[in-house]
Copies of this chain bind each other. A is one copy, B any other.
């Protein structure tokens, strides 16, 4: 099925958990969906043909990183990131806001100008305005573009959070104007407000006034407890439009994702499957497995005996431990691929259970399984 415009269809609901489809000219996305993170134009250690085999339908690219390297000129040469990295399915890009806080030699936020910072690579001063962020994301040829927001570090200071909403709302408006009227792409707003219900509802309502193709919850998964994150979702997702996709940024473990799906969230991204993979940590239906543990030295069983992606069912825990101990990059490659496969399998199970109205049973079984 080939479409020309971005759209979202809500197919079914099991309590608050939602089953849907995002349609884009580059392919459809079944929701709830998990987006592997390809920060620098690659999902670390995974070939794109294997990524497709995991069932991945959309990946995330980081505007901040791609702006610094390879830069807009190179991206324009390739007409965007898809051709550059050999990934022709949809790409969502963040706006750069989060990385400016977390990675750069941060300088300052100027509501009128934008975020002013120094590159973490060479110290060069860069100004990222809401308009510039959209322009860069257009150079990336991103299918789902995020507005530039101010994402404060975890705080309970209402003044800081309120001010971030003020700045973010202003930037969201300017992002919308810069984005224009390209129906083949989507523009998502990002709500702030920390863990305060009143602030978050205020932020959501201001974004709805501007009108976006989807809405993200920002400023969560920044260090707060899982129970607090799920509580604020519980208190506020009902204020989001039912007919638009909802995206919780930077989340999380399979249990975190499950908890947020239970509150009505449709989209997720996280570095966890690949980052854990590089440290020898595997997610499986038997729980989290630390492959460095000596008990796996003679374990001839694979992580998942049914997984034929990349021949993963041919590699034993014993072999994976050997690769880790030997500092072989194949360890990161295989375990990252396994974890991505597991995450996508977990999302398929979530979707199946929503469809069958059995989500409650699945939820109870796995809500704390991966903590």
Contact = CB atoms under 8 A, between A and B. Distances in A.
A329 interface: yes
Contact of A319 (B41, B44, B300, B326): B41
Interface stretch (A78-86, A144-152, A256-264, A351-359): A78-86
Contacts of A119: none
A70 interface: yes
A234 interface: no
Interface stretch (A45-53, A167-175, A213-221, A285-293): A45-53
Interface string A35-49: 000001110111111
A13 interface: no
Contacts of A45: 329-330, 333
Given A70-B318, A297-B74, A319-B84, A49 B326 contact: no
Interface in A327-371: 328-330, 332-333
A183 interface: no
A98 to B, nearest CB: 19
Interface residues of A, number: 37
Copies of chain A in the complex:
2
Given A74-B318, A78-B316, A300-B78, A40 B311 contact: no
A231 interface: no
A310 interface: yes
Contacts of A44: 328-330
A153 interface: no
A294 to B, nearest CB: 12
Indicate the member of A78, A297, A328 with the most B CB atoms within 10 Å.
A328
A74 B42 contact: no
Nearest to A41: B322
A298 B75 CA distance: 9
A132 interface: no
Contacts of A85: 319
Nearest to A337: B47
A325 B40 CA distance: 10
A73 B297 CA distance: 10
A77 B300 CA distance: 8
A4 interface: no
A292 to B, nearest CB: 14
Contacts of A325: 69
Contacts of A47: 47, 310-311, 330, 333
B314 A86 contact: yes
Given A41-B328, A49-B311, 11 more contacts: A40-B322, A40-B323, A42-B323, A44-B330, A45-B329, A47-B333, A78-B318, A86-B314, A86-B315, A329-B329, A333-B333
Q: Which 8 A-B pairs have the closest CB atoms?
A: A86-B314, A40-B326, A42-B330, A70-B322, A42-B328, A45-B329, A329-B329, A84-B319
19 contacts: A41-B326, A42-B328, A44-B328, A44-B330, A45-B329, A49-B310, A69-B322, A70-B318, A70-B322, A74-B298, A74-B318, A74-B322, A78-B318, A78-B319, A86-B311, A86-B314, A86-B319, A329-B329, A329-B333
Interface of A: 40-42, 44-49, 69-70, 73-74, 77-78, 84-86, 297-298, 300, 310-311, 314-316, 318-319, 322-323, 325-326, 328-330, 332-333
